[in-house]
Homo-oligomer: A and B are copies of this chain.
Amino acid sequence: MIDNPYMIGVDWGTTSLRAYLMAADGAVLDRQIRASGILNVPDGDYAFVLEEACGGWMERWPGLPVLMCGMIGSRQGWREAPYLQGDAGSKELAAALVTVTTGKYQVQIVPGLEAKSFNGGPDVMRGEETILIGALAQGAPTEGLYCLPGTHSKWVSVFNGRIGAFSTFLTGEIYEMLCRRSILSALIKSTGSTSDEVRHEAFLRGLDLAGDGAGLLHQLFSIRARALTGAGDEGTAGDMLSGLLIGSELLSVGDRLRSFRDSLVLVASGAIADRYRTALAHLGFKPRLFDAETACMSGLCAVAAEGLLESTKSTNLAT
């Protein structure tokens, strides 16, 4: 029996849709998960997919605000929510929401952010801004260096509780590509009966390999050369590759890691959280850990709390 829900939050990315019915304190009252990522929506009928997933909630509580974040607001999604430029907090995000309609209900989309990367080039995020705001709402430090690992890992400077410069790394995508179909694939697939301890050591060797100065393109091949010449343990190529790529990412943020040694925050879930924690510990760093999925929900609540609730209630087509 669900009482008094506060809002519907939707994290709609490239590979999945995760919808949450939330209480005012951020507690999850109900959830619906679909494999309908934005690239997997027939005829681009996003309204249909959204109503299929959480139309029941919208019908039962017709005035409830619905807030979405992630790639649904990209050029390939439902409607582009243009990147917000410069430092941003929950206020700026709430002020720049983009509205779409299912026909019966209005739904808001959180915009992504555009900023300078650590090296001065342009960089963008979409979805991570909501996770960051959520981690802050959960008590993460208002000044610090945040790591959000994944397909496209983000390293983010947070100042005064606002999102500043950030750099994106293609780490997860390169890892997946090399596992799936490359000269390393066959090696990676033959994990055999390798023990967890041996695999852990291979991960650490991969981390160390990243620092040998030979360059990533050579280091990648050297995983194969090690296997061919018997210098690598059987069945550990995938772990070594993972260590190498994460190590390469950490090396690239090296100076900042040291500067923010005491205010490092890792926002991640599951196996990838373990990998990054292990990698950071290997280099002598101990980040505070926040769960990414929970942070995303908190972030949607925090943005909604910045005035969306009242304005949505008064304008929703169904009221």
Contact = CB atoms under 8 A, between A and B. Distances in A.
Contacts of A252: 214-215, 217-218
Nearest to A229: B122
Contact of A222 (B117, B178, B181): B117
Nearest to A220: B170
A173 interface: yes
Interface stretch (A30-38, A88-96, A243-251, A267-275): A243-251
Interface residues of A, number: 46
Interface in A216-272: 216-218, 220-222, 224-226, 228-229, 231, 245, 248-249, 251-252
A28 interface: no
Contacts of A182: 173, 177
B229 A83 contact: yes
B226 A122 contact: yes
Contacts of A121: 209, 212, 214, 222, 225-226, 231
Nearest to A186: B76
Contacts of A152: 183, 221
A181 to B, nearest CB: 7
Contacts of A167: 214, 218
Nearest to A168: B221
Contact of A215 (B83, B212, B221, B248): B248
B177 A119 contact: no
A288 B152 CA distance: 40
Interface of A: 83, 114, 117-124, 152-153, 167-171, 173-174, 177-178, 181-183, 209, 212-218, 220-222, 224-226, 228-229, 231, 245, 248-249, 251-252
27 contacts: A114-B228, A117-B214, A117-B218, A118-B214, A121-B209, A121-B212, A121-B214, A121-B222, A122-B222, A122-B228, A122-B231, A124-B229, A167-B218, A169-B217, A169-B221, A170-B217, A171-B217, A173-B182, A173-B183, A174-B174, A177-B178, A177-B182, A215-B249, A215-B252, A216-B217, A217-B249, A218-B252
Given A168-B222, A169-B215, A217-B248, 4 more contacts: A117-B218, A117-B222, A123-B222, A177-B181
